[in-house]
Amino acid sequence: MRRPLLPVLGRLWLALILVFLYAPIMVMAAMSFNASPFYQLPFSFSTRWYAEMAGNPQIITAALRSVSIALVVTLIATALGTAASIALFRYDFRGKKVLQLLLFPPIAIPWLITGTAMLIFFFAIGLGRGTPAVIIGHVALALPYVIVTVTARLSSFDITLEEAARSMGAGGWTVLRRVTLPWIAPGMVAGALFAFAVSFDQFVVSYFLSQPGDSTLPVLIYTAIRKGFTPEINAISTIIITVSMAIMFIATRYSRFGGER
């Protein structure tokens, strides 16, 4: 029996795409374990660059700062985004459609533009650069992701559950805590993971808004590369990629956009 050509071509095409996407990452990951500082082959396995990275206080400080900023951003964005989703779900008000539409362009607008706009705006209002500005900027970028995932989960929520809880004497807060939040929790977890990833991986906006000497990890990597490349960067990048991919994987597992649990 002749095998149809199209599926074979299709598979080949898919394989090429995956190679195209992941080959550079794989090379980088491999090189982070290569003992030679000049990418010389033959490959000889070493964890030297990881050790050097761990001994580099600049990298460690930046990494810790990135993680703390990402955690704060995650908390704020998840709380605000969840509240916004519930409001959009529960109430009808003038301009609701417009507001919902306005939530999406920030995902599409180039970060360079958003970053520039934020920088100008924060200087105009006297906030300037610094960690608070970075956090606000990241929250703004992360919010749409939280709203999208929580709204997707809410779309399968039965509003009569809230009515039933109220008929049994539960006030607004109890209804939220005991009925609504347990239902949207998976959407919130997914949104929180997205928010963390958006903040942790963010370069452009961080670069614009952070003060020199106060860099986040991506900003530090960028400046390090400009000064001269060391395989330490391979090591830290490999760690970041592994963590980011793990987060994205968990996030997509949790969100299952709009589906039943």
Partner 1 sequence: MSRVDVTAVTKHFGTSKALDDVSITFDDGGFFALLGPSGSGKTTLLRTIAGFHFPDSGSIRIGEREVQRVPVEKRDIGMMFQNYALFPNMSVADNIGFGLRVRKVGAAEERRRVAEALELVQLGHLGQRRPSQLSGGQRQRVALARAIVTRPRVLLLDEPLSALDKTLRVDMQLELRRIQREVGITTIFVTHDQEEALTLSDRIGILKDGRIVQVGPPREVYERPVDAFAASFLGEANWLPPSRVAGLELPCRSGAGSFAVRPEALSVATVPAPGKNAIQGRMSQHVFAGAMATCLVDIDGSYWKVIARDRDIPQIAPGADVWLSWSAADTIAVPTPA
User: Is residue 184 a contact residue for partner 1 (CB under 8 A)?
Assistant: no
Q: How far is the CB of 74 from partner 1 (least distance, A)?
A: 24
| Binds partner 1 (CB under 8 A): choice among 170, 239, 243, 248 | 170
CB of 164 to partner 1, least distance (A): 4
From the list 24, 105, 130, 182, which residue makes contact with partner 1 (rule: CB under 8 A)? Answer: 182
In angstroms, the CA 84 to CA 151 distance is 9
Q: Which is nearer to partner 1, 80 or 170 (CB)?
A: 170
Could you tell me the smallest distance in angstroms from the CB atom of residue 188 to partner 1? 14
Q: Quick check: 222 binds partner 1 (CB under 8 A)?
A: no
The position carrying tokens 């999208």 is: 148
- In DSSP terms, 45 is beta-bridged to 34
Q: From 20-28, 112-120, 154-162, 250-258, give the range in contact with partner 1 by CB under 8 A.
A: 154-162
User: Contacting partner 1 (CB under 8 A), which of 7, 171, 212, 228?
Assistant: 171
Q: End-to-end CA distance of the chain: give it in Å, rounded.
A: 42
Torsion of CA 62, 64, 70, 76, to 10 degrees: -120
> CA-CA distance, 43 to 38, in Å (whole number)?
11
Residue 172 CB, nearest distance to partner 1 (Å)?
A: 8
Q: For partner 1, which residue of 70, 141, 146, 165 counts as binding (CB under 8 A)? A: 165
Position 91, amino acid: Y
Contacts of 32 (CB under 8 A, 6+ apart): 49, 50, 231, 234, 235, 237, 238
The answer to whether 119 and 53 have CB atoms below 8 angstroms apart is no
